[in-house]
Chains A and B, each alone.
Chain A
Amino acid sequence: MIEKALKGSKKYWLWVLFLLSIIFIGFLCYLYQFKVGLGITGMSRDVSWGFYIANFTFLVGVAAGAVMIVLPYYWHNYKEYGKITVLGEFLAVAAVTMCLLFVVVDLGKIMRVFNVLRFPTPNSVMFYDVIVLNGYLLLNLICGWTVLHSEYKGTKYPSWLKPIIYLAIVWAPSIHIVTAFLYQGLPGRHFWLTAVMAPRFLASAFSAGPALVLVAALLLKKVANFDPGKKAIDSLAKTVAYAFIINVLLFIFELFTAFYSGIHSHQAPIKYLFVGLEGHAEWVPFMWIATILAIVGILLLVIPSTRKNETTLVLACIAVFISCWIDKGIGLITGGYTPTPFETITPYRPTLPEIGITLGVWAVGFLIMTILYKIVLEVKSSKELVVKYEGVLYKK
């Protein structure tokens, strides 16, 4: 089946080449970081996690979000998702791979990464995160690949897969709950110390993940003649809308708690992010962009006519995706570290090599997604050909 990825149009190869060149640049940046140390990034003693962990956190959500397609299809037998379910599963594969890469490039001593397995430490949330992320990667790879392979062979997937599919479904929220626990159990980081963190993570995951699948599916429809089905798109759009509104609501609840209670330390990070604090306003424009995108996204998603229109729907999904990325990526991390434990402010800005490495990891993810999606498309279209040759009567 893998050979399907090796044959393609000129456009396909150009896209692959483009991704490969970004990966190459990212790799060069990484070699530089490897040699000199993490000091080449904008991180500091006070803001000791940055862009890498921000992207990691966001992408865990994207990965978990795929379950919003897989679950209705297998659990509720929602047939409309038949065509895009495997897209969801393979999106999860690409996203988790990026997550793992982001953790790895963030380590000071990469050669020692297996210390996490050599000295298993059950009191560390990181220990569980490693388990659930790798497990999720494996589960999705198995499910996606086996189902697709059966389709390729023209059979139904083997029955042993059913329990694994169910396991993958219940597994999905765990990756994001555990990732939220990385943050929400730390004393003294006021922005993170909230029970709403895990639900908020899930809500943003269940909007950003399906939003990306939606954009990808509609893109494939344009460039590769792939038809996801009108009903599937409409249902998915509703999922994005509901989940994203819940996400925004949860954030507003945070605002209420911080500002009605009047507790200064709970307000400080929010003020820093949205209006600036003590003359520091590094991320204010970004947070307002996220806010505006969120409003635009919600409007386009709740108004039926714009939701049903493919162009405005894609715009809405992109708005939701970027809004989540800013809010849960960079906003979450810088907000957690600002103010510092000394109630001072140390600004953080990613450096060029840091951004290079980040883009490189994203390109790896997109490359994986491209290859897997290419295989999916080839398999599905080859099936259509068989139908066309066997019977004279065929749909469409």
Chain B
Amino acid sequence: MAIKRRDFLKLTGLTLVGTAASAAVGDLLTRGEVKAQEYATPPEALKGKRWAMVIDVKKCKEGQKKGCGKKCIEVCHYLHNVPSIPDKKKEIKWIWEDEFEHAFPEQTDEYLEEIFKDVPFMLLCNQCDNPPCVRVCPTKATFKREDGIVMMDFHRCIGCRFCMAACPYGSRSFNWFDPRKYLKKVNPEYPTRTKGVVEKCLFCYERLAQGKLPACVEACPEKALIFGDLADENSEVSKILKERVALRRKAELGTGPAVFYLID
């Protein structure tokens, strides 16, 4: 851990020196804005222009029947130090299961309800194309990356919860208490949060940078979660969406969700 931290500090130092040097000239032109390119992604990183996820709900149901134990939730919440808080009202969740009528309340009718009666819908942040949460955040603590991921800076968030009012999907959780008390095991590779900040699924940006798929996608034994780049015609997600019927939650709001639910 100690070495890692030193390496990290060195890296930060180098980046700072680099930025300072380029800033001397660049500042005049860019007025101090940091250009995204200046952050060099490691060579092994997965690169995409529009990351998206496709969820095959039927496969998910099968997996659960076979006893997968909802590995996706378990692994995600462990890896990202998401606390398990018993009080439903104050809980924090990045990915969770709900029923069709809650995931798609405006599409529900008795027939669909019957069809999807025992079908699990895994919900998570939709990494919207046009994210209202980003629009309202007064500090840019939540922002959209060039690859479409809607990011959170836990160290900048002031906890105003405007983003929670703006998100039409209930994807965001707030740390009503100190979350560390509710962690059974801490994953030292990922930061824990403090009380008073908002958090949500970040599409495993940290794993993408290491060339790995999101944790939930990797964890699912049934391969019910498929991850890929929508901007790439030949990616698995693009191909599937061309062939099969998928729904997006509340697409009529113009948010442009990047999580699709295969329902055929």
**Chain A: residues with CB nearer than 8 A to chain B?**
36-39, 43-46, 48-49, 103, 106-110, 112-113, 115-116, 118-119, 121, 123-127, 130, 182-183, 186-189, 265, 336-337, 340-344, 346
Contacts and interface: CB of A to CB of B under 8 A. Distances in A.
Given A46-B89, A109-B157, A188-B253, 16 more contacts: A36-B195, A37-B178, A45-B174, A48-B161, A49-B165, A107-B160, A107-B196, A108-B174, A108-B198, A109-B194, A115-B138, A115-B141, A124-B138, A126-B138, A127-B138, A342-B103
Contacts of B164: 45, 48
Given A107-B160, A119-B156, A187-B168, A38 B174 contact: yes
Contacts of B132: 186-188
Interface centre among A48, A125, A130, A346 (most CB of B within 10 A): A48
Contacts of B178: 37
Interface in B232-264: 250, 253-255
Interface centre among B103, B157, B162, B250 (most CB of A within 10 A): B162
Given A45-B91, A45-B173, A116-B138, A342 B98 contact: yes
What is the size category of the interface that chain B forms with chain A? 35 or more
Contact of A265 (B106, B167, B176): B106
Nearest to A113: B158
- Top 7 nearest A-B pairs (CB, nearest first) are A108-B159, A188-B168, A108-B196, A39-B176, A44-B89, A343-B105, A126-B138
24 contacts: A37-B195, A38-B196, A48-B164, A49-B161, A49-B165, A107-B159, A107-B196, A108-B157, A108-B159, A108-B196, A113-B158, A116-B139, A119-B140, A124-B135, A124-B162, A126-B162, A187-B255, A188-B253, A189-B168, A340-B170, A341-B168, A342-B170, A343-B101, A343-B105
Contact of A187 (B90, B139, B254): B254
Contacts of B79: none
Interface of B: 89-92, 98, 101-103, 105-106, 132, 135-141, 156-162, 164-170, 173-178, 194-198, 250, 253-255
Nearest to A336: B165
Nearest to A187: B253
Contacts of A107: 158-160, 196
A198 to B, nearest CB: 17
Contacts of B254: 187
B157 to A, nearest CB: 7
Contacts of A48: 161, 164-165, 174
A375 B92 CA distance: 50
B177 A109 contact: no
B93 to A, nearest CB: 8
